[in-house]
Homo-oligomer: A and B are copies of this chain.
């Protein structure tokens, strides 16, 4: 079962986090940094990095610092995104800024960011490959910021195109998956072709992951999701589902209406289902994941390669 394999990888990451990011003075800062990290999570990005290392013949233990670094970058974006979205809950946990206030949440996020680079720089690898990975991670972080900026601009626009959405999603979500896989390979001494294939795999499945993530927001009840179902609708987020519906002239009354009632949100969900926009997005997600899996063909067959293929399927089957 893919879930069992992923749980084993996640456990490796879970155990490494307190080692690489111990609670040291000022303790409360490090507690704020560890808050969401300690709340668990599927660790998909670091697990993908460890699998990429294995897929090119490397050892997961060697690239564990890089895996932790990638998870830290992901969690840093969650802390700052939650401030921007004024979110109270994340994975069922109080968000960092709700618990510590906005100024301290900004610092906690900033410190996670620098710790990610600090930890990555401790990976035992060829210095030239390490410089390339540090450069890749920094470029990736810039991309994430650009994607987040684009996403914010979208919320006030009615005319966001599918192309614009795809560029945004690539930057905001997909590049971190792609970078994780490429770093896992490159730091394990991979040749360029395999590293490139793993980058493509991460990029395509990362896009599929985000499209599906927006689907999950609409179809998953709060008790599983850990936050309100359909939250993206009232936030006015321009997801692929919304963009498709708007392009078909479908009207969604609850869109961007922060005081929308539960029944108004439910009406919007029914509308999006009936317009075929949820299915449209779902099919797009499947198609991107298929492209990702196809990119793996150049890699030699291995257990890790097979697991990556299954991971790709899992990314658009998960329930939260």
Q: Which A residues form the contact surface with B (CB < 8 A)?
A: 25-26, 28-29, 80, 83-84, 102-104, 106-111, 113-118, 121-122, 127-128, 130-131, 134-135, 137-142, 145-146, 148-150, 152-153
With a 10 A CB-CB cut-off, give which of A25, A118, A127, A149 has the most chain B CB atoms. A149
User: B134 and A117: CB pair below 8 A?
Assistant: yes
User: A138 and B117: CB pair below 8 A?
Assistant: yes
Query: Separation in Å of the A97 CB from the closest CB of chain B?
Result: 11
How many copies are assembled?
2
Chain B residues near A122: list those with CB within 8 A: 135
Residue of B nearest to A111 (CB): B145
In the complex, A128 Cα to B126 Cα: how many Å? 9
4 closest A-B pairs by beta carbon, nearest first, are: A114-B141, A117-B138, A111-B145, A127-B127
Chain B residues near A115: list those with CB within 8 A: 138, 142
User: B146 and A26: CB pair below 8 A?
Assistant: yes
Chain B residues near A83: list those with CB within 8 A: 102-103, 106
User: B142 and A131: CB pair below 8 A?
Assistant: no
Chain B residues near A135: list those with CB within 8 A: 117-118, 121-122
In the assembled complex, 8 residue pairs joining A and B whose CB atoms fall closer than 8 Å, in A order, are: A84-B106, A104-B152, A108-B145, A110-B141, A113-B141, A114-B142, A115-B138, A118-B142
User: B29 and A145: CB pair below 8 A?
Assistant: yes
With a 10 A CB-CB cut-off, give which of A29, A107, A150 has the most chain B CB atoms. A107
Chain B residues near A149: list those with CB within 8 A: 26, 28-29, 104, 107, 111
User: B80 and A146: CB pair below 8 A?
Assistant: no
Determine which of B130, B137, B146 lies in contact with A111 in the assembled complex, contact meaning CB atoms within 8 Å.
Answer: B146
User: A152 and B103: CB pair below 8 A?
Assistant: yes
Known contacts A26-B146, A146-B29; is-contact A121 B138 (Cβ 8 Å): yes
Determine which of B28, B29, B130 lies in contact with A131 in the assembled complex, contact meaning CB atoms within 8 Å.
Answer: B130
User: B141 and A131: CB pair below 8 A?
Assistant: no
In the complex, A114 Cα to B146 Cα: how many Å? 11
In the complex, A110 Cα to B117 Cα: how many Å? 14
Chain B residues near A148: list those with CB within 8 A: 107
In the complex, A121 Cα to B153 Cα: how many Å? 30
In the complex, A67 Cα to B153 Cα: how many Å? 32
Given A80-B106, A113-B113, A116-B138, 11 more A-B residue pairs with CB atoms under 8 Å apart are A25-B146, A26-B150, A107-B148, A108-B145, A109-B110, A113-B114, A114-B138, A118-B142, A127-B131, A131-B134, A134-B134
In the complex, A126 Cα to B121 Cα: how many Å? 15
Residue of B nearest to A80 (CB): B106
User: A106 and B106: CB pair below 8 A?
Assistant: yes
In the complex, A138 Cα to B138 Cα: how many Å? 11
In the complex, A28 Cα to B145 Cα: how many Å? 12
User: B26 and A114: CB pair below 8 A?
Assistant: no
In the complex, A315 Cα to B170 Cα: how many Å? 45
In the complex, A142 Cα to B108 Cα: how many Å? 10
